[in-house]
Structure 1
Amino acid sequence: MNIERINQAFFPIIGEIAWSVKFSHGSYFMVEFGKPHLKIREPIHKKDDSLNSTLPLLRRRRVFLRGEWSLFILDCKWKFTENKESTDQDQPTDVSEKILQLAEGQRLKSVSIDKDCNGCIFNFDMGAKLHITPFDNSDFDQWRLHCSNGEIFSLKNNGLVNLEYEKQLF
């Protein structure tokens, strides 16, 4: 695991306030950090019939409220605790979402590495803690951090840390 690259990714976020904690799909969720801004995806006019089911969505302009940094928690085991409340990836979404929202308004205090299992621990200033560990040794992402400058950092379940740059779709 490349600790320097993880430090590079999260150094600018330390001290930033978490906001807009939302589930996206299954046990995946996201947390925004930094100043809010609108991310606008213009309509896409594609003539490819293989995309018939997605064409109506592609033809719409989509507007998203994002932070300077968007942290996506993906293919991993996770446990969130805040005081006496806790939840994990196996809890029903409505239960987890309510407890995860306790992170909103808390500043990210530190990100540390759990070397025993290729995981990470996110600590917040008012006591919240998010501990993520891999499901297995696959190359799926535990987390992805999208930065406003187009950088995308990710930690794979096998412990590799990647840096990519945002690509435009179509």
Structure 2
Amino acid sequence: MENETKELAKTDTAIEIMAARVGICINRLIAEEDKPQNEQDAKLIERLNKELKILAKERERMYRGDKVVREKILNEYSTEVKEYFNKGETKELAKTDTAIEIMGAMRSTRITRLALEKNKPTELQDDKLITRLEKELDMLNAERHLMYKGDKVVREKILNEYSKEMTEYFKGKNSGR
């Protein structure tokens, strides 16, 4: 039972990360001049939006116990991440932006899980944790604004936090988590 929960949590986070990365692509294309510059961009945005809808459907099937979908998501996720880092993509903004999206996605997932336990926080402690996580999400957004203004201290802080979060998340992976 515990392994099943961990497997679901891992796949759910994988979906969140993929969705966050697709979302980043859409936002970057739109932000170029508040609209797609040409037909090719418009088509790419349309395709990325479709991918987000597919991810949402796959999450539903995954929660109904579809192991094929679960495996597909985890395989896709590892391919996505390998491709991203193998390219040696070291543009600081892209890397930091992805870090913010991933941390935000992980926090959102935790908020959703807590809130869904009985459609509301069961104890004051849960309530406080949700409030704290929501504040952290607001802080991440504020830090993103500073980062885009060229604040290198904020950028470094985000990347340090990101590596800590991800190390913690994946450190148990090899020990069968």
**TM-score interval w.r.t. the shorter chain?**
under 0.3
Question: TM-score w.r.t. structure 1 length?
Answer: 0.27
Instruction: Kindly indicate whether structure 1 or structure 2 has the higher relative contact order, using CA contacts under 8 Å at least 6 residues apart.
Output: 2
Structure with more helix by fraction: 2
Question: TM-score w.r.t. structure 2 length?
Answer: 0.27
Structure with more strand by fraction: 1
